[in-house]
Amino acid sequence: MTDGPPPVDWQGDPLDCGACRFKRKLGQGKCGPGWACVHDRYAKRIERFFLLNPDLADECLGMPYFETRMNAARLASVFRLTRLLSDPDPGVRAMAVLRLPVTHAQRRMKDEDRRVRIAVAHRLPVEELLPMLGDPDSYVRSIAMRRAEPGMLPVAIHDADPEIRRIVARRIGLDWLDRFRSDPDPLVRREAAGRRPGPFVEDDDLRVRHAVAERGGLEEATRLLDDPEEVIRETAAARLHQLKEGANVDG
């Protein structure tokens, strides 16, 4: 059985099962050229080798090919992984961060590669995420923003990335939402308006006012009955009806 590209080693040379130190596994049906091999260049075959032979992971942490080290690190004893925090390959370092106790993640908060810092952002305790909110990579920041306590988020109200500001508007404390009235991105303002409609009832953007019409109270819905856009007027009227019906039921 063969899948993927032709089986060659990580340098492109032919595989030699006879010279492999794990050749005993071949007779046991736990490896084979073209489908499961620790020396193969194709990552799926390396992964399959370790799934069949997890007991060999510790022995392969120092092998020259980064895919081999990374796949070995998935299954190796955590007591052998600390040295991988300084591995030359960022994927290997990231795997070590994900598996080692969280205290080790703190050592890689300023790693030069975003893949490692992404792993760090996933692993750090919530109370230690504040430095990651200012990471130079927006994806790292987005992970930190989704995990951070709402009280940490005001530092990111003016983040350069509108997607980050949307996350902040979705999670920050209600008292901070009026700060987004002047945000240049209407989708950010819409997020804020969906949670605190009042400050956004006169927004220039149709999408923002529509969020107000959908979520606002009696005052906001009444004001939007005269909106220049028909869809806003209709939504506001439906919201008013909903609010009045709810008041009648409660009464």
Q: How confident is the prediction along the chain (251 residues), in pLDDT tens digits per residue? A: 567 899 999 999 999 999 999 999 999 999 999 999 999 999 999 999 999 999 999 999 999 999 999 999 999 999 999 999 999 999 999 999 999 999 999 999 999 999 999 999 999 999 999 999 999 999 999 999 999 999 999 999 999 999 999 999 999 999 999 999 999 999 999 999 999 999 999 999 999 999 999 999 999 999 999 999 999 999 999 999 999 887 665 55
* pLDDT given at position 248: 62
| pLDDT given for residue 4 in this prediction | 81
Could you tell me which of 41, 29, 81, 30 has the C-alpha nearest to residue 60? 81
Sequence length of the chain is: 251
**Residue 219: predicted pLDDT:** 95
**Helix (H/G/I), strand (E/B), else coil: 221:** helix
How many other CB atoms sit within 10 Å of the CB of residue 199? 17
Radius of gyration of the chain from Cα atoms?
Answer: 27
Residue 56 phi/psi, 5-degree rounding, is: -95, 0
Decide: pTM greater than 0.95. no
Which of 188, 186, 185 is CA-nearest to residue 176? 188
